[in-house]
Amino acid sequence: MKCLFLIGFFVALLPLQSAPLFNMAEMLDASTLEVKVLKDWHVVRGEVSTRQKLVTIRVGELLPGKEYRVPVRMVVPTNCKAKGFHLTGGHNPGQFQKDLQPRGVDRTLLEGGVGLVQTVVQVLQVSGQGELGRLADRRFVETLNPHYSIQYWGWPATLMRAITTAYAEKDHFEKGKVAASGGSKNGASPSVTLIEDKRLSALHASVSPIWDSPLRLCDPKAWSDLRRANETYAVKLRARGESVNTERIMNHFFLGGTFGPVYNRQALAAGKKWEDLQKIAGEMADHVFVSRHLKTLKERSVDLFFHPGTHDFVAFDLAWGGKHHPQIPIYLKANSGHGIREPHPAAERDEQNKSVFLLHHFFGGEGLLPPPAVQAKLDKDKIQITVTFPKGAKAESGRIWWMYDRGPDGSAAYIAELFPKEQAAPMKMNPAQNSWSVTLAIKPGHKHIDFFSNHRKRIVRSGRTYNSYISSPYTRLPVQR
């Protein structure tokens, strides 16, 4: 009896371990999919002939006793099993009413024996489950239990279960590489899936979170600084005679959010404390931020590429990410992001990164340029910027964009103030150093300068030329003397 007491005493002293976000045994269990066939396998004629199947599947319970289901469409070549597939969630159920006629890179993948798997990663109202979505949102805010979050649990689980669905079709799919692509929630959700599910082997994500900056982790100082920056910006706008929506400036729906919409105010109103917000942000960080798993993902031979956008309210922390994770491959289209309708006049209009990324991942051959290193030297009223590529990586062009005194990451000014039209310039190549450089005259009276450069590599496949681009790490440099 005494031994049992001591065992219980020491167990009580052990730190409590939070439950895993996903039960991977459940995610991989095809027997619980409860598949409902809407259209069984059938041949679809077109520019490329395919076999297609449409089903709905049980993802799991978003709330106890509340089943969450999604449609899944599978597309394979007519003459062979698909080896691996391209996974996407940026669809809606209405699109699945008609058979798919593959276009662009998806057509090329099918011609090469790679399949397609499509599902619906959208707010639940889109799939006719709006009431479940509202109930889950309310329960999450009240409890901060991530399992009740469509964003933390529901959407990544959707993608995992779609993979399970495809591989259960053993007469039509064989194991191979699985690459996901998409933007916004369809860039964020596969980021989580990539970390949790080793079947996923590549991710091309746009306008979605990448790294764990202090704002995302609910650091009190970062949030205090953000509030002051937004207050200052509101005063600046009024001084210019502009109309100011103070509520939007101070409480944007996304700016500062850990992994999407900001739920801080709702959780605080429901009785939670700021420490609770920090706690869940810290617990989720290892599940949602790719930046925390670069070594492990490299060991798995995972391919990554990101298009965060220069003015995106979901990927709102470029300066922090460029400083702390310059090795992560990104492409920045100047003045791009959610809601930006007019990119910079010098922005690339022929970029085909996703096609190059997917073709290289599945078929090998030439791929995208690796991330370059950036160096900046300030000399009186000038700054010399040099971007250097690793040995053997040859860029064909170089262009730089810059902005003075841009608002801090996550601020209203960061989103609203674009790179000026006149602040872009070509760079000069130094073949001996495999680098691109430019010297900029620094205008007086400024505190810092933000800049990045883009570099092109053309790739020829089967007689077709693809234009790919990579960016230098986004850099913020003090210039005030």
| pTM given for the model | 0.94
3-class secondary structure, 251: coil
pLDDT band at 340, cuts 50/70/90? confident
Residues 190 and 252 both lie in one domain: no
pLDDT, tens digit, 9 for 90 and up, residues 275-306: 999 999 999 999 999 999 999 999 999 999 99
Strand runs labelled E in 344-434: 373-379, 382-388, 399-404, 424-426, 428-430
| 114 assigned to some structural domain | yes
pLDDT in tens, 395-447: 999 999 999 999 999 999 999 999 999 999 999 999 999 999 999 999 899 99
188 by DSSP, 3-state: which?
Answer: helix
Q: Is residue 139 part of a domain?
A: yes
d(CA 68, CA 148): 11
122 and 241 fall within a common domain: no
Two structure tokens written together for 343:
């990119």
Looking at the fold, whether 246 and 182 belong to one and the same domain comes out as no
Cα separation, 58 vs 161, in Å, equals 8
Using DSSP, state whether 454 is helix, strand or coil: strand
Contact yes or no for 65/132 (Cβ under 8 A)? no
d(C-alpha 238, C-alpha 242), whole Å: 5
**For residues 210 and 306, is the Cβ–Cβ distance under 8 A?**
yes
Residue 193 domain-assigned? yes
Q: Do 167 and 68 have their domain in common?
A: yes
Residue where a domain stops, chosen among 206, 224, 250: 206
Kindly report, residue by residue over 133-186, the tens digit of the pLDDT: 999 999 999 999 999 999 999 999 999 999 999 999 999 999 999 999 999 999
Question: Which pair of tokens denotes residue 373?
Answer: 């290193």
Q: pLDDT (tens digit, 9 = 90+) per residue, 343-361?
A: 899 999 999 999 999 999 9
Comparing 1 with 18, the larger pLDDT belongs to 18
Q: Are residues 169 and 115 in the same domain?
A: yes
User: Residue 137 belongs to what H/E stretch?
Assistant: helix 130-143
Number of domains the chain contains: 2
Domain termination residue (choose one: 265, 288, 311):
288
List CB contacts of 367: < 8 A, sequence separation 6 or more.
356, 357, 360, 459
Round the average pLDDT of the chain to a whole number and report it.
Answer: 94
Domain presence at residue 306:
no
Given a cut of 70, whether residue 17 has pLDDT beyond it is: no
CATH assignment at residue 179: 3.40.50
* Domain co-membership, 228 together with 102: no
182, 71: one domain: yes
DSSP state of 289: -
Shared domain check, 195 and 81 = yes
Residue 13 has pLDDT above 50, yes or no: no
Which structure tokens are listed for 319? 């300066």
Q: Which domain holds residue 226?
A: 212-288
Copy the structure tokens of residue 7: 């065992």
72 in a structural domain: yes
pLDDT band (50, 70, 90) for residue 481: low
Verify that 102 and 198 share a domain, yes or no. Answer: yes
Nearest to 115 by CA among 365, 362, 368: 362
CB-CB neighbours of 315 under 10 Å? 29
User: In this structure, are residues 461 and 449 in contact, taking their beta carbons and an 8 Å threshold?
Assistant: no
Of 185, 206, 227, which closes a domain?
206
The reply to whether 74 and 198 lie within a common domain is: yes
- Verify that 61 and 186 share a domain, yes or no: yes
111 in any annotated domain: yes
User: Is pLDDT of 10 > 60?
Assistant: no
302 inside domain: no
Q: What is the pLDDT of residues 224-282, one digit of tens each?
A: 999 999 999 999 999 999 988 988 899 999 999 999 999 999 999 999 999 999 999 99
Residues 59 and 153 in one domain: yes
Q: Is residue 332 part of a domain?
A: no
